[in-house]
Amino acid sequence: MKTFYCYSFGCRVNQAEKEAVDREMQMAGYVVDVRRPDITIINTCAITHKAEREAKQLIYKLKRENPGGQILVTGCSATYWKKNKLLKDLPIDLVVDNINKEFLVKILQKRLSGRALHNLGGYASVGDKYLNSGRALIKIQDGCQRFCSYCIVPYLRGNPRSEIIQNLEFRIKNLGTNIKEVIFTAINTEAFGFDTGETLIQLIQQTLTDSTVSRISFGSIHPWSINDEFLRYYKKILPLKRLVNFFHVPIQSGSNKILNLMKRGYSTNDISLKLVKIRKLNPYALIATDVIVGFLDESDRDFQDTYDFLKKSPISKFHIFRFSNRDNTAAYYMKRNLKEPSVSIKIKRAKILAKLNKEKFEAFQRLNVGRSSQALFITNREGDYQESIIDNQLPVFVETKSDLNGQLRDIKILEYKNDKLFGKIIEKDG
């Protein structure tokens, strides 16, 4: 019996790909073993030097702990290593670049391990925090045409390619009744349907009509996808309460000068109008973002602009990244003329934004106290409380003796205490 284990770094698209590989490997007869698998698959990320370093550390660690096991690497760092002939010192047995990722299991069977036994007829969710709690990540699109100046992804994932809606609906229908929420993931939602003539709105609409899945959400919705048509549609479907009111809109900076250097193609004013409209349609929609500090030529004034923008905006949660200049991106060539802030300045700016994030997130959590919402229970338990995710992705701890993992319940949010929200199940009459 051949065993395997699969790791994933980075974004939710990588996580969705990992879930697909887990499924395909098991369908091909491989069995999950976290401790000493025959084959380890690592889906790498290249967005920062740190992400690349972490993948290398894992490779060395696994080789030390399980010298007899074989290691296959895929994903963005693996593609980068292969392209730039950086593989020779790494103790790996096979690399599958992004272009060939969809054939990973077939390539692995041919080149690495010989075939496993026949399909055992089942599929386990491999300790996956999403699947184990009734949520399935579905990749709807890959690649990107934007070439933002700091980003290496378009060079490693190629041009945009979308799944056709019919195939996605087939996958959703086959997920089984345990799945309560599908989370659509994309490298760039704007590019969804460029090649197929379909749209994001059609995808949501068809999922609402064709499937019985209770909740639909997006890992991220990119700034260019939020236009008047999308907002009108959001308003129309709000009463159905099936689209999770969570908008992770990566804006990257709140300074017009920096946005321009990043080649993002929008101004702070453009993005602000969109976010304010979302907030007006639904005051309880959670708006989150990614922001990069210490981009080339970011002065104290530019950073202050970002700070002021975030403070005023309806964004309640931000993920902060320190700029990491990746080889051969546009920013790599721009650095000849533009100064990069020092590491200590980047750390300082990241800390300032982290403090603002904490304040804004707390304010948003407190705003939700007193509300009722549908909640999806996930695996995490703390004493008598089980964690649940409400209709805008906020986590709420609910007192319950039973294990409600993967189940939906209506809850009331009662209080905010020690950085967390607490609530209770609303008992049905009769």
* x-or-dash string of contact with ligand SF4, 351-380, rule CB under 6 A: ------------------------------
Please state, as a whole number, how many other Cβ atoms lie within 10 Å of the Cβ of residue 247: 25
147 is an interface residue for ligand SF4 by CB under 6 A: yes
DSSP, collapsed to helix, strand or coil, labels residue 395 as strand
Rounded to a whole number of angstroms, the minimum distance from the CB of residue 126 to ligand SF4 is 27
Rounded to a whole number of angstroms, the minimum distance from the CB of residue 143 to ligand SF4 is 9
- Pick out residues in 154-213 that bind ligand SF4 (CB under 6 A): 154, 187-188
Rounded to a whole number of angstroms, the minimum distance from the CB of residue 151 to ligand SF4 is 3
Q: How far apart are CA 287 and CA 316, in angstroms?
A: 6
- Out of 108, 151, 213, 378, which residue is the one contacting ligand SF4 (CB under 6 A)? 151
Q: How far apart are CA 391 and CA 215, in angstroms?
A: 9
Q: How far apart are CA 168 and CA 181, in angstroms?
A: 14
Side-chain-side CA neighbours of 421 within 13 Å: the count stands at 28
As to burial, measured by CB atoms within 10 angstroms (0-12 exposed, 13-18 middle, 19+ buried), residue 21 is buried
Rounded to a whole number of angstroms, the minimum distance from the CB of residue 148 to ligand SF4 is 3
134 is an interface residue for ligand SF4 by CB under 6 A: no
- Structure tokens belonging to residue 224: 């260019």
Side-chain-side CA neighbours of 303 within 13 Å: the count stands at 22
Per DSSP, what are the bridge partners of residue 286? 246
Report strand pairing: 135-142 vs 246-248: unpaired
Q: How far apart are CA 313 and CA 372, in angstroms?
A: 25
- Out of 6, 144, 244, 394, which residue is the one contacting ligand SF4 (CB under 6 A)? 144
Rounded to a whole number of angstroms, the minimum distance from the CB of residue 25 to ligand SF4 is 27
The residue (of 2 and 264) whose beta carbon lies closer to ligand SF4 is 264
Residues 6+ apart with CB under 8 A from 156: 46, 76, 79, 80, 83, 98
Among the listed ranges 144-152, 239-247, 341-349, 374-382, the one in contact with ligand SF4 (CB under 6 A) is: 144-152
8 A C-beta contact, residue 77 and residue 45: yes
Q: How far apart are CA 288 and CA 318, in angstroms?
A: 6
The residue (of 125 and 188) whose beta carbon lies closer to ligand SF4 is 188
- Out of 92, 148, 271, 375, which residue is the one contacting ligand SF4 (CB under 6 A)? 148
The residue (of 275 and 375) whose beta carbon lies closer to ligand SF4 is 275
223 is an interface residue for ligand SF4 by CB under 6 A: no
- Pick out residues in 280-319 that bind ligand SF4 (CB under 6 A): none
Among the listed ranges 10-18, 100-108, 140-148, 338-346, the one in contact with ligand SF4 (CB under 6 A) is: 140-148
The residue (of 160 and 341) whose beta carbon lies closer to ligand SF4 is 160
259 is an interface residue for ligand SF4 by CB under 6 A: no
The residue (of 28 and 296) whose beta carbon lies closer to ligand SF4 is 296
Side-chain-side CA neighbours of 360 within 13 Å: the count stands at 23
Q: How far apart are CA 98 and CA 45, in angstroms?
A: 11
62 is an interface residue for ligand SF4 by CB under 6 A: no
Rounded to a whole number of angstroms, the minimum distance from the CB of residue 82 to ligand SF4 is 20
78 residue type, one letter: A
DSSP, collapsed to helix, strand or coil, labels residue 9 as coil
Among the listed ranges 96-104, 110-118, 143-151, 368-376, the one in contact with ligand SF4 (CB under 6 A) is: 143-151
The residue (of 292 and 394) whose beta carbon lies closer to ligand SF4 is 292
75 is an interface residue for ligand SF4 by CB under 6 A: no
127 residue type, one letter: G
The residue (of 10 and 341) whose beta carbon lies closer to ligand SF4 is 10
* Contact residues: ligand SF4, CB under 6 A: 144, 146-148, 151, 153-154, 187-188
